[in-house]
Amino acid sequence: MSFLSRMEPNSLNHTAGPIITSLLRVGVIGDPVAHSRSPRFQQAAFDALHIAARYELWQTSADELAARVASLLKPDCLGANVTIPHKEAVLPLLDIVDPLASRIGAVNTIVHGDGYLYGYNTDAPGLLRVLAENGVGEPGNTNESDPWKRIVSLKRYTAVLLGAGGGARGAAFALAGAGVERLIIVNRTLERAQRLAADIQQDRDCQVFCLSDPDYLIPHPRSIIINATPIGMYRAGDNEQATKDAAPLPARILERFNADTFVLDMVYNPTQTRLLIQARILGLRAVNGLPMLLHQGALSFTLWTGQPAPLDSMRAALQ
Ligand code: NAP
């Protein structure tokens, strides 16, 4: 069974599904997590399906990660989402990691089933669903044997991926799987971008640059620019104005891209980042991280409960 099939309702390889006798718990593990919108829309999903569960914020430092993950084995716990910066560190703490998440090297969803902890990556298919929803690429073909191409085909597209951490790793594998012609990885730490490029190991044009040298970026037609760094993300205690002014790419670089360029900023707090504002001023199509959050969260919900996610209720709660 393919990894994406396992994310389809009622076809899970672990025994998931709510035992509605007492209040169940699920939450998001990260540092920081205060900004997370996951409680809002995941709670709406549980409520819409009358599942007695509470979605919580689990602020967790790197030192606390192992104990937090072990606590997911409590009988009332369905599992967790994992966010910045633990998506990679969490892998060795799990019993079984889905082959896709294992190849990506990042887990954003943990499921507690049969006394074991299972790890999945729903960021990757969630990102492709957003591209498909926005008319980027060719619509997925349900007869495709390749599960990525059932969501969307990105033949002849160039992806410029800013970042090489957990979110970026999922994006890189998804983009490569959907057939992107060229993948350009731009990261603050060049070696991490090089490692990701080597891990993709598919027969495609893959370039790496340092985020401090954006002048090397040559724009191509049909480009997709994805920000998978936290630049522009507001965290409690940050200088609000400095966050608003921060963008991962200078405007003079963005200006070089054609009008058919699509920009996706994985950041959703604030909903209007500097990158998105600059892109829209230039007439480029641009979306924030909320639709991706919705789709990765919907897939996580199905993994925890075995139920189709009530997308409309979840989307309404995110507004
Ligand atoms: P992560 O694993 O910690 O990776 C962070 C990445 O950003 C690394 O490549 C890191 O570069 C780079 N970075 C961090 N601080 C930077 C700075 N000040 N300047 C330049 N580069 C910097 O985090 P993640 O889980 O991938 O998350 C990254 C962002 O994506 C977060 O804002 C997160 O909320 C967002 N995200 C959103 C969704 C969604 O559904 N909307 C899904 C996934 C992620 P180095 O390698 O040099 O450290």
The tens digit of pLDDT for each residue in 8-21 reads 554 445 655 554 46
Is it the case that residue 102 has pLDDT exceeding 90? Answer: yes
Tell me the best of 37, 61, 84 to mutate to test the pocket of ligand 1, counting ligand atoms within 8 Å of each CB and taking the most: 84
- Ligand 1 contact via 164 beta carbon (within 6 Å): yes
Ligand 1 atom 36 nearest Cα: 266
Question: Which pLDDT score, from 0 to 100, does residue 10 have?
Answer: 44
Q: CA 138, 229, 59, 89 torsion: positive or negative?
A: positive
- Of all residues in the chain, what percent carry a pLDDT higher than 70? 93
Average pLDDT, the chain: 92
Name the closest-CA residue to atom 12, ligand 1.
229
Q: Is 293 in the pocket of ligand 1 (CB under 6 A)?
A: yes
Minimum CA distance residue for ligand 1 atom 4? 165
Tell whether the model's pLDDT for residue 281 goes beyond 70.
yes
pLDDT score of 6 more than 60: no
Contact 289 CB / ligand 1 (< 6 Å): yes
* 154, amino acid identity: L
| pLDDT for the residue 145 | 85
pLDDT score of 46:
98
Residue 124 contacts residue 161 (beta carbons within 8 Å): no
pLDDT of residue 2: 41
The residue whose C-alpha atom lies closest to atom 20 belonging to ligand 1 is 188
For 310, residues 6+ apart whose C-beta sits below 8 A from its C-beta are 44, 45, 48, 49
pLDDT per position as a tens digit, 244-279: 999 999 999 999 999 999 999 999 999 999 999 999
188 lines ligand 1 (CB under 6 A): yes
- What are 290's two structure tokens? 């909320």
Q: What pLDDT was estimated at residue 11?
A: 45
Atom of ligand 1 nearest to the CA of 288: 41
Distance from the CA of 47 to the center of ligand 1, in angstroms? Answer: 31
Burial 151-187 (b: 16+ CB within 10 A, else e): bbbbeebbbbbbbbbbbbbbbbbbbbbbbbebbbbbb
Whole-number percent of the chain with pLDDT over 90: 85
Q: pLDDT at position 203, please?
A: 64
Least confident interval from 18-22, 189-193, 231-235, 309-313: 18-22
How far, in Å, from the CA of 187 to the mean position of ligand 1?
10
Average pLDDT (160-178) is: 96
Enumerate the active-site residues.
87
CA of 21 to the centre of ligand 1 (A): 38
Q: How many helices (H) and strands (E) does the chain have?
A: 12, 14
Ligand 1 centroid to residue 154 C-alpha, Å: 23
Q: Tens digits of per-residue pLDDT, 192-222?
A: 999 999 999 766 789 999 999 999 999 999 9
Cis peptide before 308 (omega within 30 of 0): no
Look up residue 90 and give its amino acid.
Answer: V
Half-sphere exposure of 53 (CA within 13 A, CB side): 32
Give the least confident one: 35-39, 51-55, 61-65, 187-191. 35-39
